[in-house]
Amino acid sequence: MKYEVIQKKIQANPAVVVEFWAPWCGPCKIMTPQLLKVEKEYADRVKLVRINTDEDVEIAREMRIMSIPTILAFQNGLQVLRKTGALNQEQIQTVFEASLNGKPASGGSIQTRERILRIATSAALLMIAAFTGYPWYLLVVAGIVFFTAVYDRCPIWNAISNAWKKKQA
């Protein structure tokens, strides 16, 4: 499949969810039954496009897919949500809802500008630490600031936070 074909599918449908996966990917295999179940639930409203990254490397590169599984939600051709890592059924439904509503539910991904600002702040703190003899408290603060920039893409953090939320419910 070509990148242009995917773009046409995204533009032609008001609500589209694109999943990037690979046959060897364990989290992808675990997530697939739940994804297909949610697809059936939203069949008349949301189009699901599954892209095997081993076969369609060009598309993954063009859409800046760095790890799999990654799911993108589009509404009227515009990306409204990106989730990386294995998702449970409830999280997959959130992605499908975002493609319908045009906005992610609360707790969505950090915006790119905010992510870059946090990473830059962390780098600045590390530079200050380097010039002041690496005080431990600056290193800890830099680490915490950096983690706030990337936590939503960390599969371990997602697994722990999901387990915690289930325990609390």
Task: Please confirm, yes or no, whether 154 is among the known catalytic residues.
Answer: no
Beta-carbon-side half-sphere exposure of residue 66 (alpha carbons within 13 Å) = 5
CA dihedral 138, 114, 98, 96 (to 10 degrees): -50
Q: Is the residue at 106 inside a domain?
A: no
Give the residues across from 73 on adjacent strands: 17, 81
Q: Tell me the pLDDT of the chain (169 aa) as tens digits.
A: 677 888 888 888 899 999 999 999 999 999 999 999 999 999 889 999 999 999 988 888 888 898 899 999 999 888 888 888 889 888 899 999 999 987 655 455 667 788 899 999 999 999 999 999 999 999 999 999 999 888 877 778 777 877 887 787 6
Considering the domain architecture, whether residues 18 and 93 belong to the same structural domain is answered as yes
- What is the domain-level CATH number for residue 92? 3.40.30.10
CA distance 74 to 86: 19
Residue length, the chain? 169
Task: Please confirm, yes or no, whether 25 is among the known catalytic residues.
Answer: yes
Annotated active-site residue in 28, 71, 80, 92: 28
Q: Is the residue at 56 inside a domain?
A: yes
Considering the domain architecture, whether residues 78 and 126 belong to the same structural domain is answered as no
- pLDDT of 128 reads 95
Which amino acid is present at 76?
Answer: N
Q: Is the residue at 32 inside a domain?
A: yes
Give the residues across from 51 on adjacent strands: 20
Domain that holds residue 18: 3-101
Annotated active-site residue in 15, 17, 18, 25: 25
Considering the domain architecture, whether residues 141 and 74 belong to the same structural domain is answered as no
Give the residues across from 17 on adjacent strands: 48, 73
Q: Which of 101, 122, 151 is the last residue of a domain?
A: 101
- pLDDT of 158 reads 76
Say which residues have a Cβ less than 8 Å from residue 49's Cβ, sequence separation at least 6: 6, 9, 10, 16, 17, 18, 19
Considering the domain architecture, whether residues 88 and 135 belong to the same structural domain is answered as no
- pLDDT of 9 reads 85
Q: Is the residue at 57 inside a domain?
A: yes
pTM value is: 0.63
| Number of domains within the chain | 2
